[in-house]
Amino acid sequence: MIELIPAIDIINGQCVRLTKGDYDQKTVYNDDPVEVARAFEEMGFKRLHVVDLDGAKSKHIVNVDVLRRITTETHLIVDFGGGIKTEEDIQTAFDNGAAMVTVGSVAVTKPDLFISWLHTFGAERMILGADVRNGMISINGWKEDSQESLLPFLKRYVDEGVRNVLCTEISKDGTLSGPAVNLYKEIMAAYPDLHLIASGGVSSTEDILELEREGIPAVVFGKAFYEGRIDLRSLNFEL
């Protein structure tokens, strides 16, 4: 069974979703992300993907209070990303209850630093964020495109021990246009042992079933779930 991971994206302390990472195309789904997290736990989810969008834009963690409330008021396994630029940021996330952190931009701009974090904190607690636009990695809240192409970028870190990768196809994120299945198949063909988390574009239950049929280990979803497009019973999810 594909691992189902709901997402909570945070701006100004609210649960939101963006379209293609555009901060001007924002939908607020709930004023209290903790309330949303509790609801996910009550549905039976075990894992939660939390993104500090203010942090991603500001290049430092902003919504640490929300993280702390989610991890103290639920038993969810939380992976946290957005604005993690220093070892202190990682420690702050862990100190406030995150089980894992997602790091993308630093892996592009300071590869040696990211590798040192892998060794310091352990590959099991680090998720490599690979945010892709036109085949190239984007950084800093998707505001900047790098010169790194996806598969060589992944190879560098797979060789260093990375086992968890969250790959978002930016052009699909928040669009409900379907996930980038071929992109994920390409990654899995190259690195079959990765715990790849597909992200972006999920629009329906069938999209998730397709990812499962193609052997993708995990999927993150937000907008489709908030808008009632995903039927957990059809996914044999135990409610």
**9 given a catalytic annotation:** yes
| 171 vs 61, higher pLDDT | 61
The whole-chain average pLDDT of the chain stands at 93
- pLDDT of amino acid 68: 98
Whether residue 17 is predicted with pLDDT greater than 60 in this model: the reply is yes
Active-site option among 52, 54, 79, 131:
131
* Residue 71 CB partners (closer than 8 Å, separation 6+): 78, 96, 97, 98
Q: Are 179 and 198 in contact (CB under 8 A)?
A: yes
**95 given a catalytic annotation:** no
The pTM of the full predicted model, rounded to 2 decimals, is 0.93
For the segment 83-118, what is each residue's pLDDT rounded down to a tens digit?
999 999 999 999 999 999 999 989 999 999 999 999
Q: Are 34 and 78 in contact (CB under 8 A)?
A: no
For the segment 132-189, what is each residue's pLDDT rounded down to a tens digit?
998 899 887 667 778 899 999 999 999 999 999 999 998 888 889 999 999 999 999 9
Q: Which two tokens stand for residue 229?
A: 């497009």
Q: Is 74 helix (H, G, I), strand (E, B) or coil?
A: coil
Cα 125 to Cα 65, 68, 114, distances in angstroms: 21, 17, 13
